[in-house]
Amino acid sequence: MANQRFAVMVGVNDAGPRRRSPRLRFAERDAEAVRDQLALEGFETCLFTGAEATAGEIKATLRQAVMRSDPSDVLVVYFAGHTVTPEWSRGADTYLVTPDLDESVLSENPDAGLRMAFLERDVLEFFAGPAVLIVDAVGDAHLTPRTTYSALTSYVADAPSREDPVIQHGVLTAHVLATLSRRQRLTFGSLADAVREQGLTPQVVSPPGGAEIVLAGPAEQPAVPASRPLANPMDATAGEILRLISRLTHHARMPRHAAPRSSGSRAEAGVAAPSRVEYLRAATDAHSTALLEYTPNGFQTIDSSKRFDLDGIRPLLRFPAGADWFGHTVRDAHRTVLCVPLRHAEGRSLLLALVDPAGDLLGLGQPLAKILETIWRTDFAASPDEAEIEVLTALRDAFGRLPVPLYEHCFELYRRVMESYCVVFQPVVTLGKTARRVGVHSYEALARRSPSDQRAPVAMLRLAEVWGDRFVVERDKVILRMALRAYAQAHAEGPWAQPKPVSINVAVRSLLSDAYVEVLRTMIAELAIAPETVTLEISEQDPIEPRRGEQWAEAPHAYFHNRLAAIARDVGVAFAVDDFGEGYASLSRMAELPLTQIKVDRAILHHPLAAKELSLVMDTARYAGHAPRVVIVEGVDDASPLTLREIYEQRIRHVQGYITRQPAAPTLSTLSEETSEYIAALVRGDDEHRGTLITRADDLPLQRGA
């Protein structure tokens, strides 16, 4: 990554268990305030306060920032608290006091605490780009002028001289915060000058060029040529867009801006909860915000933040005809109003109005309007990362492509979202007319946001197709790793002496990717999984065809058949067609690929000729030209129009779904005796009095139900 800004803040009120120095009141508050201010400027922040500010965690975070750094990146390290210089160091080594610091062991193990030498040698001097250290502490320190990083430090003798009880901040920190908040563009040099102007005498160290490190506002941009053919409105503002999105995410993570989902008539009208306007006001640093309705009678306020005055801005408002409008900015001598249309319908339109938003945002132009429009219909508070992806996807849809920094940012976000998911397992049940013959045949690994969430994150999983093969393959690699690791652990802790087979969904393009196959091979070897127990279910969402510009030497199905056969020989896994009857999962795909399983989509159960369709599937599965293949009917539950007895009579012996009355879980278990007997009774048709689809099929038209 490039042009990133990182900030690590540490605030510790306690002086340490063995020291007599008084406890500070505002050090932790200082670190939080600096975090909030730098986050508004687009810094990726990490905060350590109180008992959680352990030396090990802080050092690990700093080293991670160093290892991922680029020469164009900026690092800020801030500390508020106590410092100590042990006697044995003869004044040459200083430690920033953390709750776990034990001074008695430092002489034998100098690296047991958060050492200034570590910050200088292993972090600030090693960071690839410009680095800044800000310390507001009680104690003293040994700070040697360096040529590689900038420092603004203040060390005072006691707590009262460090802190101001009126402003409830450290004195140095208060002036740093005030300068950051009132300067649209601030460099390290101008920050140091502003602090000195207040009569303070901090230690300032700055190497050549260090004074120009940008801490607030946009960095200097290279001159833009007068003519830029095929220009995208976002090319020149990618950095500002990233900072805006970071600001939005930061405010979404703050509890006071969490926006509950709307309900009732307001939700049906597409109106967000009241806190949504406050969230947007804070995230854009606007004076006020409002959701307005425009009708032939003029504008009226539906929802607004504090201080919003419709009458004061009414003369500026207008709503031009036409729905294809990105928005506009209007000004008078007193205020600036950004107007963003949210919905335009005959006789009624919704408009988002931002009064005096941050000046640097207005330069974003059309992308800003699209971002705000997308944010309004996105629940940033529920999942900031997923909401960011939705915003970037909307920008891509609106402008055709994204600049590389935005594309790469979205890719990293998508990977992070996928890695945040977990895997649960749903059993495939073997049917029988007696409980003894009912059991677990295999499991399917399913991605979920949490173990308790039974809903598949379908929209986010399918979003990869919108972005292309790189996202698709990365999604499938992440899910493959999670599924195999989770399955190996679940089986080790489960009831089965011999591993039950597991199936995992995969896209056609992933199976054509050597990178995906390498992950498959590596994970199977690493976890010592028998490869024949792994089945890859080929998604019904993907066509089997070359991309534009690709050349396949054979017909598509023949080419893909040979690819699967090669993977089977090389790795040893099996393949299934997923959701037969839906999407691209056609009869030809089922007949022409080297499959060991055929999974039938639940939609077939709702077809008037469901029994005949299942019979056709079974005939194809047992076609003499292939080895017999297992047929599994998915989505079977108590509400299925086709009963288990009818399914069983079509020679099908395996089903999957909530028929077990147990949700998918991260662990594996056998079926209870009660469940096995219940399923066996359904297979026998005990107490079945309703008419069946088989008895009615010949009288019904050929059409697929919902």
Element (H, E) at 25: none
Q: For residue 495, what are its two tokens?
A: 């009831």
Q: Which two tokens stand for residue 123?
A: 């972090």
d(C-alpha 4, C-alpha 343), whole Å = 35
CA distance 401 to 382: 27
Query: pLDDT band for position 288 (50/70/90)?
Result: very high
Say if residues 448 and 454 touch (Cβ distance below 8 Å): yes
Classify 632 as helix, strand or coil.
strand
Q: Which two tokens stand for residue 163?
A: 């802190």
Higher pLDDT: 369 or 566? It is 566
Residue 705 is predicted with a pLDDT of: 30
Gap between the Cα atoms of 508 and 560, Å rounded: 9
pTM exceeds 0.85, yes or no: no
Question: What distances in angstroms separate CA 668 from CA 50, 136, 228, 427, 665, one per listed residue?
Answer: 40, 54, 59, 8, 7
| Average pLDDT, integer, range 123-135 | 90
Token digits of residue 504:
């995992």
Domains of the chain: 5-216 (3.40.50.1460), 235-410 (3.30.450), 421-699 (3.20.20.450)
Given a contact cutoff of 8 angstroms between Cβ atoms, the answer to whether 172 and 161 are in contact is: no
Per-residue pLDDT tens over the stretch 8-61: 999 998 876 656 678 898 999 999 999 989 988 889 999 999 888 999 899 989
The torsion defined by the Cα of 603, 604, 610 and 611, in degrees rounded to 10, comes to -130
User: Is residue 154 helix, strand or coil?
Assistant: strand
pLDDT tens for 348-405 read: 888 889 999 988 787 777 788 888 888 887 877 778 889 899 989 988 887 777 888 8
Total length of the chain: 706
Better-scored residue on pLDDT, 264 or 379? 379
Q: 219-236: per-residue pLDDT in tens?
A: 654 444 444 445 566 777
Q: How far apart are CA 502 and CA 523, in angstroms?
A: 14
| Amino acid 248: pLDDT | 78
Distances (CA, A) of 664 to 142, 334, 506, 538, 602: 59, 59, 19, 21, 17
**Chain segment 407-435, per-residue pLDDT in tens:** 999 999 999 999 999 999 999 999 999 99
Using DSSP, state whether 428 is helix, strand or coil.
strand
User: In the chain, what percentage of residues exceed pLDDT 70?
Assistant: 85
What does each C-alpha distance from 447 to 27, 417, 492 come to in angstroms? 42, 11, 20
- Collapsed DSSP state (helix, strand, coil) of residue 631: strand
Local confidence band at 626 (pLDDT 50, 70, 90 cut-offs): low
Would the pLDDT of 166 be above 60? yes
278 vs 689, residue with greater confidence: 278
Contact 502, 534 (CB under 8 A): yes
Q: Is 689 left (phi over 0), alpha (psi -120 to 50) or beta?
A: alpha
Q: Which of residues 223 and 608 earns the better pLDDT score?
A: 608
Nearest 5°: CA angle at 236, between 231 and 239? 140
The pLDDT value recorded for residue 351 is 86
DSSP secondary structure letters along 391-426: HHHHHHHHHSS--HHHHHHHHHHHHHHHHH-EEEEE
